[in-house]
Amino acid sequence: MASRFSDIVEEARLSARALLDFGEHIFSPAVRLGVTGLSRSGKTVFITALIHGLTRGGRFPVFEPFATGRIARARLEPQPDDAVPRFDYENHLHSLISERQWPNSTVDISELRLVIEYQRQNGADRTLTLDIVDYPGEWLLDLPLLNKSYEQWSRESLALSRERPRARLAMQWHAQLATLNALARENEQAALAGARLFTDYLRACRDERFAMSLLPPGRFLMPGNLAGSPALTFTPLDLPNEGVAPDGSLWAMMERRYEAYKDVVVRPFFRDHFARLDRQVVLVDALSAFNSGPEALVDLEAALEGILESFRIGRSTLLSSLFRPRIDRILFAATKADHLHHSSHDRLEAVLRRTVAKAVTRAADTGAEIDVVALAAVRATREAQVQRGRDKLPSILGTPAPGEIVNGEAFDGATEVATFPGDLPADPQQLFTGADAFRGLASATAETTDFRFLRFRPPQLESVGTEAPALPHIRLDRALQFLIGDRLQ
């Protein structure tokens, strides 16, 4: 009864907030754009390039209102939410252009407000407020936990951890788990040890050799000020097939902390941020999954299915179907397209379409329009033809990051090199099965490592007069057209 009452109260709060936002949007047209992606997918670079291009005159031929001159100007305004950090655009831009370093990864939520002055197609002058919300993709993967009991999550997590290649990464955690009896008395030290080993397992899964994507609870990997709290000190247990947790048992302790995690971490994020978004872009570092092999791609597929499942949460009642979530456009973007020759860009897009196909089918009732694109928000390479014998190979030119190694050669971060990245298969299914595809890091040995995609530094740019240089990109304008083009008609 208490749980049902709290759900009703939460529903009322969400509805009141949605009505308030709706009223504000009538008098001041606005779009809240969520930008997320799993670790190292390029969220910070995407937002920085988007803002720089709109405010400093980027090259966006596919973004119709910009290309036709209907956008008069775009300017930054103070971030309106006093409880959320401002996206540090200026420092991120300095890192990209002046230092030629990629900005630090997203570890918390941040926002930035961009006001776009434009002319409608009928000639009327208007403004659109674009509020950009940057948050870790791991938080989005937590949202399905709202519809799962501790018992369901525990069984699913254990089953996943016993599959390859996760099983060998979970050996220490599994060894400690085997010593625990879910029906025994609650034990703080056992909980602490279990949570630590479980977190170590999640962290190992995220390593570039394995590039696993399905890693909830997300805050275990980025705890922030919750580090060491009971809400982050729990772990899956081997549970009886039937029954409920006895009072005072280890099972009851873990279940209580799991529910606390949802109350303290997941619900506030859903209520205060996710449920208020209008549009969403999900950035995907598919190349890391390619590097790691078929298991990583299958895991990425499951993660993206979990992400789209988030857009169906809370649709069981009339109020929730009206007011949450309200996202009506979702763009999945495969990043780092500049690490491939343009002849493989369509194939990269096809792989991502194949990866999200099941998720899109399941999420059909969200009512959201969904699209897929391969892009590079900041293009770090150029294309060239390299002669090898009688053949000319389609290659890319760029400056590898310091410490990158290929075929035993270490790069210093200053030397530009030409590399042949290879071709993606015409049939995306080959990457999921390993047929006629490289093995990937997860199954390679030290002698046979197949690391196909280098990390490159941001490009060297030259200013023209007093104007700031435009950041080169691949299809960032197409992403903008899909995400906000219709709101600038």
> Got the DSSP string for 68-86?
TT-EEEEEEE--S-TTSPB
Q: What is the pLDDT of residue 451?
A: 42
Tokens of 404: 């990158």
The domain boundary residue, chosen from 266, 281, 302? 266
Mean local confidence (pLDDT), 317-338: 72
The domain boundary residue, chosen from 204, 233, 266? 266
Element (H, E) at 309: helix 294-309
d(CA 85, CA 208): 29
Tokens of 406: 């290929």
Amino acid identity of residue 106, one-letter, is T
> Could you count the other beta carbons within 10 Å of the beta carbon of residue 87?
24
> Does residue 476 sit in the same domain as residue 369?
yes
- pLDDT tens profile 407-429: 778 889 999 988 887 778 888 88
Short-list 157, 114, 177, 136, CA closest to 44: 136
Phi, then psi, of 426 in degrees rounded to 5: -65, -30
* pTM of the entire predicted model: 0.87
The domain boundary residue, chosen from 266, 295, 312? 266
> Does residue 351 sit in the same domain as residue 375?
yes
pLDDT at 440 over 70: no
d(CA 261, CA 229): 10
> Does residue 80 sit in the same domain as residue 168?
no
pLDDT at 324 over 50: no
d(CA 203, CA 446): 21
C-alpha 200 chain-centroid distance: 21
CB 41 within 8 A of CB 335: yes
> Does residue 262 sit in the same domain as residue 282?
no
Amino acid identity of residue 181, one-letter, is N
> Does residue 164 sit in the same domain as residue 253?
yes
d(CA 129, CA 455): 35
> Does residue 111 sit in the same domain as residue 77?
yes
> Could you count the other beta carbons within 10 Å of the beta carbon of residue 404?
18
Which residues pair with residue 321 across a beta bridge?
A: none
Tokens of 122: 């009928």
Q: What is the pLDDT of residue 439?
A: 46
Mean local confidence (pLDDT), 94-119: 93
> Domain tally for the chain?
2
> Could you count the other beta carbons within 10 Å of the beta carbon of residue 465?
4
> Does residue 36 sit in the same domain as residue 78?
yes
d(CA 209, CA 40): 14
Domain that includes residue 249, residue range: 148-266
Asked if residue 217 has a cis previous peptide bond (ω within 30° of 0), the answer is yes
Mean pLDDT is lowest, of 9-13, 114-118, 403-407, for 9-13
Which of 441 and 278 is assigned the larger pLDDT? 278
